Amino acid sequence: MATRQKRLFARLVLDAAYSFFLPPFSFQIRVGALYLLYSLYECQSAAPRAQVRVALKDWEDIQAFERDAGEAQHLDVVYILRQLMRQKGFHFAAMPTLLSYNKKRKAQRSQRCEGFMEAPSRPQELVSAELLEELSHVHGLYDKLKVSAFASVERPVSSVQLSRNDLVPRLHATMLDYHQW
């Protein structure tokens, strides 16, 4: 195989492996992708080696991944990531893929296995409008139940006031603040 073909093949394989190295994939999948990236980078027979193309917007995710690996005592992961950095295995670019002008090509979307994805961690994915409405409804029913249970008592019992009256509006406001942040 010619050197150019080897480099194109290496570029294609590195891009495919790199897509599993970024969120929303679970930590184990990302570690596996890092091992795959390192082994593919090391075993290239073409010179110069094709580098792993990293978009600048993804760099924070990679640094967070390195911190998480260090905190979890996965020192092998930290070592491999630093080896790739030391060997200049990363090519930092503005875009995750090369731009081609005046080319009419269908964008190929890869099918991702939902089993590999992490559970939602962003508030807007965890707290939806339907959930807020249901929470408001349940909260109202709970307040009515408390009032009916202690309607005969002359002095209100302070231990009954366990729920916040502004729970739903505060949760909604916090979610909006996070979304705007």
Crossing angle of helices 27-42 and 59-71, rounded to 10°: 110
**Is residue 103 included in any domain, yes or no?**
no
- Whether residue 130 is found in the same domain as residue 49: no
Report pLDDT for 159. 61
Residues 168, 173, 179: CA angle, nearest 5 degrees: 130
Q: Which domain holds residue 51?
A: 3-98+110-118
- Whether residue 7 is found in the same domain as residue 59: yes
- Whether residue 92 is found in the same domain as residue 167: no
Concatenating the DSSP letter of every residue in 102-132 gives T---PPP-PPPPGGGBPPP-SHHHHS-HHHH
- Whether residue 114 is found in the same domain as residue 134: no
- Whether residue 53 is found in the same domain as residue 130: no
**Is residue 24 included in any domain, yes or no?**
yes
- Give the end of a domain, one of 89, 118, 147: 118
Report pLDDT for 169. 81
Number of domains in the chain: 2
Which DSSP state fits 49?
P
**Is residue 56 included in any domain, yes or no?**
yes
Q: How far is CA 42 from CA 27, 36, 74, 181, in A?
A: 23, 10, 21, 40
- Whether residue 114 is found in the same domain as residue 131: no
Q: Going residue by residue through the chain (181 aa), what tens digit of pLDDT does each one get?
A: 688 898 889 999 999 999 999 988 999 999 999 999 999 999 998 888 999 999 999 999 999 999 999 999 999 999 999 999 999 999 999 887 777 666 666 656 666 666 666 655 555 666 777 877 888 888 888 878 877 777 776 666 666 666 677 777 887 787 777 666 5
- Whether residue 131 is found in the same domain as residue 114: no
Report pLDDT for 46. 83
